[in-house]
Structure 1
Amino acid sequence: MDLRLVLGVADGADQSALASRLGLGETAVRKRLRRLATSGATPWLRRAGSGYHLTDGGRAALGAIGEAASACAAVTAVLGVEVLPVRHVRVVTAILASGSISGAARQLGLPQPSLSAQLSRIERRWGNVLFQRAPGGVSATPALDRLLPHLRLLEKSLSRLAATGMPEDDPGVPCDLEVACEFGFTGLLDALRDEALVDVQQHIVSVPGPDWTPDMRNADICVYADLPLASLTTPPGWTTAVAFEEPAYVLLPRTAVSDRETVELRDLAGHDWLTGPAGTRNHRSVLAVCRAAGFVPRVRFTALNGPSGRHILEAGEAVALTSATLVPAGALRTVRLAEDLRVRLVVGWRHGGPATATAEWMVRWLREQHVQRLAQRRPELLAELRADPVGWPGYVDA
């Protein structure tokens, strides 16, 4: 991406044209250009007014930059990926040259387990097994053999560029993060790309039980809901932050209860309930909060998510526990619970890991998006939360 930016500047493209050419937001382009103009002892670019121009070092490196960009394009075309971080190329070529992961780890100054984990991630990202493991070392697979001509050309070009002050991969821009979300958030990936976090993959996962799933533990960042009396326990080595919290609501048939602004749980003791399957967090949460209110809910249906659950609710056959905004807008009727029960959206990441800055950014973005949803769908609730800084401190400055 940086190579293509430099070539675009050489062509005289402005920031708007660069953003369109690279599929980035203009904010991302500005950040990358600013870094390229300040990185290393001999930066390739210099700022002139609102634009950028090549330095003498940039002009001298232009041939090698074009050669490296062509090699990168060939590799990404074969692999079907958008971004090819320099450190990924160095890991693969170092392992290939040494014939073993342990030898490459010594060459790169990394612990062997760390390099092995990096290789596994690169293979997953590139969609190919690159090395055949054996007790005596590793050897290239046919998939890697097909890439070798392009990788060797790229490695040669990078070696030439290293002498010209080529900037390293920006450590503040994670190049291979995976996000496991319990919910899909419209605009999240576009916003990440606009912030120059251009190689973040999002996976929608199910969290059926009381513990983090393997998909969550294997991801760099996890986003999930903590339900009343059924919170997930954070695994050791992970940090969590609450992006937002909101009051618990009940999805009601239109025939249930009068048009009151709130409803107490005990008023719903005679209704059938719809929950997630037995043992899931939603099921356990409903049982816990209803028992705390003095009754055992009559759980008749266990198909909360998907069209079947929505059909049950729209047909007025059951009630279900939800929150202020984590339910699709539409014909379903929601009423706030009188009890002070809260649903929290939590973001988790490995403590001190490379995902920290991105995860913290996601916390802020999710909070801002939540405030916007409240402003559109429940403005009276947003006003109430802002007016109670002690009970709802997260909304004071929202």
Structure 2
Amino acid sequence: MKTRRFLQGMIIAIILFSMIIPGQYASAAELTAHQDFTKKVSSELNKYIKKSGGRVTLKYQDLVTGETFQIKGNTSSRAASTIKLPLALYIMEQAEKGKINLNQRLTYKSYHYYGGSGVIQKDKVGTTYTIRDLVKKAMIYSDNIAFIMLKERVGQRTFIKYMKSVGGQYAYPNGQNLTSANDLTIYAKRLYQFSNKSPLGKELVGYLKKTVYNTTIPSGIKGTAVAHKVGMIPNDRIYNDAAIVYDRNPYVLAIMTKGISYEKSQKVIANLAAIVNKNHKAKASAQYFKSKADVTIYQNSSKSAAIGTLKKYQTLKIISNKGTWFGIKFGKGTGYIEKKSVIALKKASVSGWAANLPQIGIIKMKANAPVVDKMTSGKVIAYFNKNQDYYFFKREKDYYVVDLGGRVGYVANKYITDLSVGM
């Protein structure tokens, strides 16, 4: 009797749970491109890391879709010169706000001296440099003295407060120069966003594209622009790199290594970057997508003119891919949707795909017209806005058959105000 009651309770709980928890973007029969990416990149990276030895932490984030992947991304390790990236970013952001003058000159004093990477150590004590020149040297040559002078200018407490404010988990904890792959991607992503709206952000990215240290992430990603900041402590067998990769779908990638020789670690980072990039490109080449929510369809790749709506959880095929926009067959040409509004699928899992059927005429909507997936008891998959012109390729009963993002859709005759046939 107790067992029976227990089973009944479990069934009720499952039913209630299924009512509370919303459905996933992709059904069990569908495989998202990100799921496929995660599975493959995880397998390939872990296999390579096991072979290379040492400790590797890594974080990837697609800057268009927001999708992420990591291997121990929150694990702390010595930052080395990657700490120079958030400092340079902070200075350029403050300059954008008018709170720092990049033309202010700072004087190189004897206590600023520090060996290792950089070019200022060859100059005379007493030489002056603009803040802009120090930022440039810190990014291109990873100049240690430039970093020390800049950090003195803004104050370490202020710098720590900034890193924490933007999401950094490790900001000189107990005075230690630590970071994580996750923190480094936070700074790289922030720089990418800053560079899209500020000339000073673009200037900083430009310095990082010209760095003299290019044996790591850029070496594994040939033919693609990479803005990155390395950090290494050869004697302690530490080598790190944090990058913005300017692929057609840009992404950020941070890789941190420990316990691998100085020479080998550079090859390891390059090869890990190559694995990530290969799988990123495969993910970004997906042709089929499902809407996350109701998606506005625009006349061009801006938000100036809405021409329709794609309903939530609808699958479609793209015909163009540019920047943050996808193009789909819509109206008398192409409609545009934001990439962030859809989730990529590995392959299509619905029937009813149009196969470049010949267009025989144009219909015009007299009101916002629902598009259904079948004529009898059809489900609404989209809406055409009022006065929108649309190609059709067949007439069936009281419906016009249209191509909606590669799918067959049906618009009832009662929504049509004008018709042109025999083009």
The TM-score normalised by the length of structure 1 is: 0.29
TM-score, scaled relative to structure 2: 0.28
Normalized per residue, which structure has more helix? 1
